[in-house]
C-alpha cells in the first residue's frame, strides 16, 4: 500500500523534473544569487556577487543532471544530445527575469554534465541607488553626471557579472527626458527610468536555422528611428563597426559595454571585435579615437561590485590613461580630464 508520504514525494519529484529549473529553483530564490553552476551531480555552486561558493546539494546522479540539462535546452528551443552536446538559450520567467542557460554534456565535460544558469534581472536602479549601495563612490557621481550632460560617448567594461549593465542603465536615467534612447541588446536587461527609451532585442535562429536577427541588424534599423542616443547593451562582434560609425555621424552620447578587465585592454579588445566586422586595425583606431571619450571599469571586490576605474582614450592609434581608480583616487594629470569633479 502506498502511503500519503510516498504520494507527496512522487508528486514533488514530478514537479521538480518538469517545472522551472527543477531542484535548482531553491537556489535561485536565495537573495542576491546571479549564477547557479552545476559542475557534477554532487558539485553545485552559486554566485551572490562575491565569488562562487559551494552549496550543500546533490542532484542524485549524472543521469539526473543530463535529464535536467536536456529539458532546459528544449525549453529554450534548443537541441541537446550526443550529436549536439552543448546548447545555449534563454528562458523568460513569470516575474519578468530571464535565465540564460548553457549546458555541456559528458564526456566533453569530464566531470559530468555541466549546467550554467545566469539570472538576467532587468536593470532598473538609478545612479542614486548605486551611490547608496556603495557601488559608485559619492564623490565620483558628479563625474558620471558630467559625462551624460555633456553627451560624451562612453564604454563600460568589466568581467562577467561585475555590474556593467547595471551601471550603464543607472547612468541612462540621467539623460534629459527630451532625448530619445534606443537600446540594442541580446537579452532585454536595460530598463532605465527614462520616459523615451526603446528596447530592441536580437533573435537567435530557430531549430531550422532560420529567422536570426543580429544586433548589427538592429543597430542599422535604429539609425532610421530618430535616435538621440544609441546604446548597445553588450558589444560582442561585428555590431561594433556600425556603432562606431553611428557615433561618428551625429549620434553623440552613445554607449555600450564590453568584456575587458581594465582600461588598458580596451584598444586590443576593440581591435578583435572590429576584425569580425571587416574593419582593419588602422581604421578601427581612427573610428575609436573620434567616437569614444570615456571608459568606466566595473570589478568584483571583497565588498561586492564596484566602479573601479575611470579613464580616457587619447591619440591615434588610441592609447589609454587612467584618471581615477578606487584604490588610489585621482591620478597625476587627471586635472586635464574635464569631466572630473
57-115: pLDDT as tens digits: 999 899 999 999 999 999 888 889 999 999 988 888 877 678 889 999 999 999 899 99
CA distance readout (Å), 144 to 139, 153, 170, 173, 311: 10, 12, 10, 11, 12
User: Rounded to whole angstroms, how far apart are CA atoms 338 and 341?
Assistant: 8
Closest residue by Cα to residue 37 from 15, 59, 17, 18: 59
What is the chain's alpha carbon radius of gyration, rounded to the nearest angstrom? 22
Q: What is the mean pLDDT of residues 145-172?
A: 92
Third-level CATH fold of 127-330: Rossmann fold (3.40.50)
One DSSP character per residue, 68-135 reads HHHHHHHHTT---SSSS-EEEEEEE-TTS-EEEEEEE-TTTSTTS-EEEEEEE--B---HHHHHHHTS
Give 4's pLDDT tier (boundaries 50, 70, 90): low
Name residues whose C-beta falls within 8 Å of residue 122's C-beta, 6 or more positions apart in sequence.
Answer: 96, 97, 188, 189, 190, 191
Most confident of the following: 13-27, 40-54, 165-179, 227-241: 165-179
User: Rounded to whole angstroms, how far apart are CA atoms 175 and 306?
Assistant: 22
pLDDT reported for residue 272: 93
Residue ranges of the domains in the chain?
4-120, 127-330
Instruction: Tell me the average pLDDT of the chain.
Output: 87
Secondary structure element (H or E) that encloses residue 167, with its range: helix 164-172
Q: Helix or strand or coil: residue 312?
A: strand
Name residues whose C-beta falls within 8 Å of residue 176's C-beta, 6 or more positions apart in sequence.
Answer: none
pLDDT reported for residue 138: 93
User: Rounded to whole angstroms, how far apart are CA atoms 112 and 96?
Assistant: 31
CA dihedral 130, 152, 238, 72 (to 10 degrees): 10
Give 9's pLDDT tier (boundaries 50, 70, 90): low
Give 281's pLDDT tier (boundaries 50, 70, 90): very high
Span 167-181, pLDDT tens digits: 999 999 999 999 999
Residue 17: pLDDT over 60 = no
User: Rounded to whole angstroms, how far apart are CA atoms 121 and 189?
Assistant: 6
Residue 341: pLDDT over 70 = no
- Note if the bond before 122 is cis, omega within 30 degrees: no
pLDDT reported for residue 123: 66
Question: What pTM was computed for the model?
Answer: 0.78
Q: Helix or strand or coil: residue 272?
A: helix
| 106 class by beta-carbon count within 10 Å (0-12 exposed, 13-18 middle, 19+ buried) | middle
CATH class of 4-120: alpha beta
Q: Helix or strand or coil: residue 308?
A: strand
Dihedral sign for Cα atoms in the order 282, 233, 124, 325: negative
pLDDT reported for residue 24: 92
pLDDT reported for residue 151: 93
Span 195-239, pLDDT tens digits: 999 999 888 777 677 888 988 889 889 989 999 999 998 888 888
77: left (phi over 0), alpha (psi -120 to 50) or beta: left
Amino acid at each position: 500500500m502506498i502511503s500519503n508520504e510516498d504520494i507527496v514525494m512522487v508528486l514533488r519529484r514530478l514537479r521538480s523534473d518538469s517545472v522551472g529549473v527543477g531542484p535548482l529553483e531553491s537556489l535561485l530564490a536565495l537573495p542576491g544569487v546571479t549564477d547557479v553552476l552545476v559542475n557534477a551531480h554532487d558539485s553545485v555552486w552559486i554566485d551572490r556577487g562575491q565569488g562562487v561558493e559551494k552549496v550543500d546539494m546533490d542532484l542524485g546522479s549524472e543521469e539526473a543532471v543530463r535529464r535536467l540539462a536536456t529539458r532546459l535546452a528544449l525549453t529554450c528551443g534548443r537541441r541537446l544530445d550526443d550529436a549536439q552536446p552543448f546548447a545555449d538559450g534563454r528562458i523568460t520567467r513569470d516575474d519578468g527575469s530571464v535565465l540564460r542557460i548553457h549546458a555541456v554534456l559528458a564526456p566533453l565535460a569530464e566531470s559530468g554534465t555541466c549546467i550554467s544558469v545566469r539570472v538576467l534581472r532587468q536593470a532598473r536602479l538609478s545612479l542614486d541607488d548605486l551611490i547608496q549601495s556603495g557601488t559608485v563612490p559619492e564623490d565620483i557621481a558628479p563625474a558620471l553626471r558630467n559625462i551624460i550632460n555633456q553627451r560624451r560617448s562612453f564604454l563600460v567594461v568589466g568581467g562577467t557579472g561585475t555590474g556593467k549593465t547595471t551601471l550603464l542603465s543607472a547612468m541612462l536615467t540621467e539623460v534629459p527626458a527630451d532625448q530619445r534612447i534606443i537600446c540594442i541588446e541580446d537579452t532585454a536587461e536595460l530598463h532605465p527610468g527614462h520616459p523615451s527609451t526603446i528596447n530592441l532585442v536580437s533573435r537567435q535562429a530557430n531549430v531550422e536555422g532560420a529567422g536570426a536577427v543580429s544586433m548589427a541588424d538592429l543597430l542599422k534599423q535604429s539609425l532610421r528611428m530618430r535616435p538621440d542616443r544609441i546604446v548597445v547593451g553588450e558589444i560582442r562582434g561585428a555590431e561594433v563597426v556600425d556603432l562606431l560609425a553611428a557615433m561618428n555621424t551625429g549620434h553623440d552620447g552613445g554607449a555600450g559595454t564590453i568584456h575587458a578587465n581594465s582600461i588598458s585592454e580596451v584598444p586590443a579588445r576593440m581591435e578583435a571585435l572590429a576584425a569580425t566586422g571587416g574593419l582593419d586595425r588602422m581604421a578601427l583606431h581612427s573610428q575609436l579615437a573620434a567616437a569614444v571619450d570615456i571608459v568606466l571599469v566595473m570589478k568584483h571586490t571583497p565588498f561586492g561590485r564596484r566602479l573601479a576605474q575611470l579613464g580616457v582614450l587619447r591619440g591615434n592609434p588610441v592609447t589609454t590613461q587612467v584618471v581615477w581608480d578606487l584604490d588610489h583616487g585621482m591620478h597625476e594629470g587627471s586635472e586635464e580630464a574635464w569631466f572630473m569633479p
